[in-house]
Every structure is written in C-alpha cells, then in structure tokens.
Amino acid sequence: MTATPEIIIPAIAEDGSLFPIEKMEAHRIAQQHLAISAFVFSGSRLLIQQRAASKYHCPGKWANTCCSHPHWGETVENAATRRIGEELGISVPLSKTSVFEYRADVGGGLIENERVHVFVGHADETGLAMSLNAEEVSATRWVEVSELPALLAGQPDSLCPWFAIYISHWDELNLGQ
C-alpha cells in the first residue's frame, strides 16, 4: 500500500499561484492542491467505483466514477480524461461543471485538502465496456442518484470521505442530475 513518490502535482500557494509538490507530501502536510473528480451517468444512474485493496488510502471504499490529480503542467481537462481511461478503461466525453473545495482526513496521517475540478460525462451503461485497472479499482456498479443519500446514511464507512462530502453537497457540484 505505497504510492509512487515521484508523482508531482500542482499545489496552491497562499497567493493563489501554483507550485509543484510531490503528491504524498501534499497529503502529509495538508497542502491545498488541484484535483479532478469525474461523474459518469447513464440516465439517472451514476457509475461508482470501489478502490483497490492496495490503494495507499481508503482501500476498498466506494467513490464516484473517478478521482485523481493532474500532473504538474497538465490541464485538469486532460487529467480527467486520462484518469478515467487509466482506471476504468473507458473514453467518455467530459464537461467541466464546477470547482469545489473540501478538506478530509483519509487516515494514515494523510489529509485531502483539495480544489476539485468537477467533470460530468454521459454513457449508455449497457454498451459501456470497461477494463478495470486492478491496481486502482476492484469493482464498479451503477447506482440511482436518488439512492445516494440512503447509501450515505446506511453505510457511511463504506464510502470514501470525499464521496460522502459530494453526496452531502450534491447540488453545489452542478452535475445536472
């Protein structure tokens, strides 16, 4: 359960400028940094993923379709497209809907302090062939958006902290659902 130490992501300075930081260091010191979250829908159903057991934080927990970070020098748009391909083996057109900030303790002395660029995509779940990256994702499922609050209320420990935050602030994400 280790992360690759050389991944460099864009962090946010107090003056709003960006600077490069190693991903694990950003999480250890709770440095605010850029992130992406993608939500892929089929009608009123959201594709969610269960994180692989080998992930360095939140292993085995459920999250929205895809969450990650842009590399230093990479646009958030490219990062979102790249990561849904790398994690799920899919290519879905994505549209940026909002920017959302949160801070969450993800265990192991790590803090997510993220400025998240939120993306939405639409796909036909019956025709969407996925090829899961076993190092990232152990399972996926489609969930009715209307069932998400009950999932949060009934099984909060099964969800990644950020997914619980997203469900609690659903309308602020401007997902069109």
User: Is 20 a member of any domain?
Assistant: yes
CATH of the domain at 92: 3.90.79.10
Sign of CA dihedral 138, 36, 115, 167: negative
DSSP codes, 112-134: EEEEEEEEEEE--TTT------T
| Helices assigned H by DSSP within the chain | 23-28, 76-88, 148-154, 161-168
Amino acid in position 125: E
pLDDT tens digits for range 26-49:
999 999 999 999 999 999 999 999
User: Is 88 a member of any domain?
Assistant: yes
Q: How many domains is the chain built from? A: 1
User: Is 91 a member of any domain?
Assistant: yes
User: Is 97 a member of any domain?
Assistant: yes
User: Is 104 a member of any domain?
Assistant: yes
Helix (H, G, I), strand (E, B) or coil at 92: coil
User: Is 76 a member of any domain?
Assistant: yes
pLDDT tens digits for range 60-111:
999 999 999 999 999 999 999 999 999 999 999 999 999 999 999 999 999 9
What is the domain extent for residue 88?
Answer: 8-173
User: Is 2 a member of any domain?
Assistant: no
Residue 36 neighbours by CB under 8 Å, 6+ apart: 66, 67, 68, 69, 70, 76, 79, 80, 83, 116, 117, 118, 119
pTM across the whole model: 0.94
Helix (H, G, I), strand (E, B) or coil at 83: helix
Task: Kindly list the catalytic residues.
Answer: 67, 114
The Cα–Cα gap between 165 and 21 comes to 25
